[in-house]
Structure 1
Amino acid sequence: MTRSLRRRAGRAVLAAAALVLLAGCGYSATPVPEAVAPSSAAPASSPPCEDTGDPTRSYAPLPGGVPAPGDVPAGSTMARIRDRGYLIAGVSGDSYLLGSRNPFTGKVEGFDIDMVDQVAAAIFGTAEGHVQLRVISAADRIPLLQSGDVDIVARNMTINCSRWDQIAFSAEYFHSGQKVLVAKGSGITRVEDLAGKRVCAPAGTTSLDQIQEVAPDAIPVSAVNHTGCLLKFQNGEADAITGDDTVLAGLVAQDPYAEVLAGQALTDEPYGIGVNADDVDLVRFVNAVLEQMHDDGSWQASYKKWLQPSLEAPAAQPTPVYGR
């Protein structure tokens, strides 16, 4: 099936629902498709992840680095986005520090949003007025990329082989790890103490699977997103929340009675920017943008602004791995 046919078929299946669309400085209403089951078939353009030897291995950046906005290759995915006038990015709207709406300005902002803005600025010369942020759930990430309803997804999405079978990824842009949030004084001091406890994670993530490998008697509780888990936690419907340390740091910043269990992370969570598997040229372009962010210090500046104060640790941009 061609990409255009896949997109038309995807749009025919997806039903309309409510979503926040952010364009430039404000919001306007737009329909959002409901999550649909992603295709399990591996795209012909993407070799099996296991053959690359490393899930974080991506496509090499464009030769010569990021082209000037007026010099993006004719007929490329970047040219199509430029001619449309805006980049469409799927993001979180409730992951404080990564992608969440500022109640004072109405804008969605955070570390992941800075990644989106850098890609848009590389295409248009500036991100201002050239970005439409679609606030989506974790379960929507892959279906919306496959249907072509978004160009990229920057929503703390872990690179792994099963996802490479469905979409493509940029090089790793942040290295996170799964941890657990509990109430202070709860008596829960390690993951093994979660036996018989209700643990919440968003639907469409692998976090609960990881917890049950260590604490098989933990009781899984799901919500649409981590904000939903926080509400359940605060209402006594969940005893713990699990997720990436970046996300949990944002939740602790909103609830002074919560804390993240100390100790080593349960998993390695390499974040990548998701792209439709057919848009290999866009992956190469994004990787060139990430290389540029390393060289000009903009990645480090974003990390220091958003994540370092809560994670209380310095970090460096991950070294990219290429060769797909």
Structure 2
Amino acid sequence: MSRRGNTVRAGVLALVALLAASCGSPGKPVDPAPVSNAAWPQPAHVGGPDATAGGGADTSCDPLASLPPNGTIGSDSTMAKIKERGKLIAGVDQTTYLFGFRNPTSGNLEGFDIDMVNAIARALFGTSEGHVQFRAIPSSQREDVLMAHQVDVVVRTYSITCDRRKKVQFSSVYYVAGQRILVAKESKAEKLSDLTGKRVCAAKKSTSLAKIATDPAKVVPISVDNWSDCLVMLQQGQVAAVSTDDTILAGMAAQDPTLKVVGEQFTQENYGIGIPKDNEDMVRYVNAVLDEIRGTGVWQDSYRKWVEPSLGSASPPSPQYR
């Protein structure tokens, strides 16, 4: 046989051997990588307790007594400067359903707090259309933007406290809420003491965080930038509950039918409109606007639209003045 023939024969034999091997036992399989449940990612800036958050422990003042109303706009007043600018700049929330949230269909900001901003703009300009510049801010920045004069007002479920009054001005009370608890529907918890040793979420620098951080129930406080972060953490099982004002919790429960608001109110939260410390004329003007909307039904109409279906009927709180 020629050399070329030997080469061909050797190749054929190698191919036959390869085919025979492929028809045989596959051998011992390789173990796959172990499979485990991946942890849910946490929101940005998750922190721990802050017993000084919100300044709720300071009782050195009468926090609810505001400056008497005055609806006059003087030539050199804060309001005249806002009118000259053409826009009211308002620090608001865009993540709290029912009070300050962005409508996913229209892209507009809506809610009870947004209605309060629009009422101030209408008083200044005759209409709010085109005359409001909304600035979405987290709870932790409410004092910061006011002290830096980056906004004219903050209308963002903002509880009035003596500690906060040292830094900013407040209008009269325009809404009264109370702190409660949001849990999964299968949860047996009804009060804060039922959550001892468990993680409970609240927003940074909020009076709600201060309450759960200092309560004898000894829960584990978890702080986040926005209330929507608390909602996500509860949905993912990273916390056992969210605790804050029932107004905010009602919005969360309305968004997710697997959750429920439980227990009685264990604080009273008086919402005011935040105003820079040196703009006392603006405080008086805003109080005049609030007096008007309490008396004309504007407050009631907004409440019926946004809040009453979740929390029942209510009337506007009576103002207190110095």
TM-score between the two structures when normalised by the length of structure 1: 0.80
**Residues 41-75 of structure 1: CA deviation (Å, up to 9, x unaligned):** xxxxxxx9835xx210000001xxx35xxxx2100
* 1:240-279 mapped onto 2 (5 Å cutoff): 240-263=241-264, 265-279=265-279
Cα distance in structure 1, aligned partners of 2:209 and 2:132: 33
Task: Indicate the residue corresponding to 1:290 in structure 2.
Answer: 290
**Contact residue 191 and residue 215 of structure 1 kept, 8 A:** no
Letter in 1 for 2:164: R
Task: Indicate the residue corresponding to 1:81 in structure 2.
Answer: 82
Shift in Å at residue 189 of structure 1?
Answer: 2.0
Task: Indicate the residue corresponding to 1:50 in structure 2.
Answer: 60
Task: Indicate the residue corresponding to 2:180 in structure 1.
Answer: 179
Cα distance in structure 2, aligned partners of 1:257 and 1:293: 36
**Contact residue 201 and residue 243 of structure 1 kept, 8 A:** yes
Letter in 1 for 2:282: L
* 1:120-159 mapped onto 2 (5 Å cutoff): 120-159=121-160
| Stretches of 4+ aligned residues off by more than 6 angstroms | none
**Residues 257-293 of structure 1: CA deviation (Å, up to 9, x unaligned):** 1111132x11110000000010000000000000110
**Residues 96-141 of structure 1: CA deviation (Å, up to 9, x unaligned):** 0000000000001000000000101111111000000000000110
Cα distance in structure 1, aligned partners of 2:67 and 2:209: 31
Aligned length: 265
**Residues 144-192 of structure 1: CA deviation (Å, up to 9, x unaligned):** 0000000000000000100001000000000001111011121212211
Which 10-residue stretch deviates more, 314-323 or 185-194? 185-194
* 1:213-252 mapped onto 2 (5 Å cutoff): 213-252=214-253
Cα distance in structure 1, aligned partners of 2:102 and 2:82: 25
**Contact residue 49 and residue 165 of structure 1 kept, 8 A:** no
Letter in 2 for 1:50: S
**Contact residue 179 and residue 245 of structure 1 kept, 8 A:** yes
* 1:203-222 mapped onto 2 (5 Å cutoff): 203-222=204-223
Shift in Å at residue 215 of structure 1?
Answer: 4.2
Which 10-residue stretch deviates more, 77-86 or 213-222? 213-222
Task: Indicate the residue corresponding to 1:18 in structure 2.
Answer: none
Cα distance in structure 1, aligned partners of 2:78 and 2:137: 22
Cα distance in structure 1, aligned partners of 2:153 and 2:161: 17
Cα distance in structure 2, aligned partners of 1:148 and 1:104: 32
Task: Indicate the residue corresponding to 1:316 in structure 2.
Answer: 315
**Contact residue 159 and residue 207 of structure 2 kept, 8 A:** no
Cα distance in structure 2, aligned partners of 1:208 and 1:240: 13
Letter in 2 for 1:314: S
Task: Indicate the residue corresponding to 2:96 in structure 1.
Answer: 95
Cα distance in structure 1, aligned partners of 2:250 and 2:216: 22
Q: Secondary structure at the match of 1:287?
A: helix
Task: Indicate the residue corresponding to 1:17 in structure 2.
Answer: none
Cα distance in structure 1, aligned partners of 2:59 and 2:121: 28
Cα distance in structure 2, aligned partners of 1:216 and 1:96: 29
Letter in 2 for 1:132: Q
Letter in 1 for 2:291: E
Cα distance in structure 2, aligned partners of 1:117 and 1:178: 27
Q: Secondary structure at the match of 2:243?
A: strand
**Contact residue 67 and residue 283 of structure 2 kept, 8 A:** yes
Q: Secondary structure at the match of 1:50?
A: coil
Cα distance in structure 2, aligned partners of 1:256 and 1:295: 35
Structure 1 alignment gaps of length 5 or more:
1-47
Shift in Å at residue 302 of structure 1?
Answer: 0.6
Shift in Å at residue 223 of structure 1?
Answer: 1.4
Cα distance in structure 2, aligned partners of 1:76 and 1:160: 26
Task: Indicate the residue corresponding to 1:61 in structure 2.
Answer: 69
Q: Secondary structure at the match of 2:210?
A: helix
Task: Indicate the residue corresponding to 2:4 in structure 1.
Answer: none
Cα distance in structure 2, aligned partners of 1:318 and 1:262: 23
**Which structure would you say has the larger Rg?**
2
Structure 2 alignment gaps of length 5 or more:
1-57
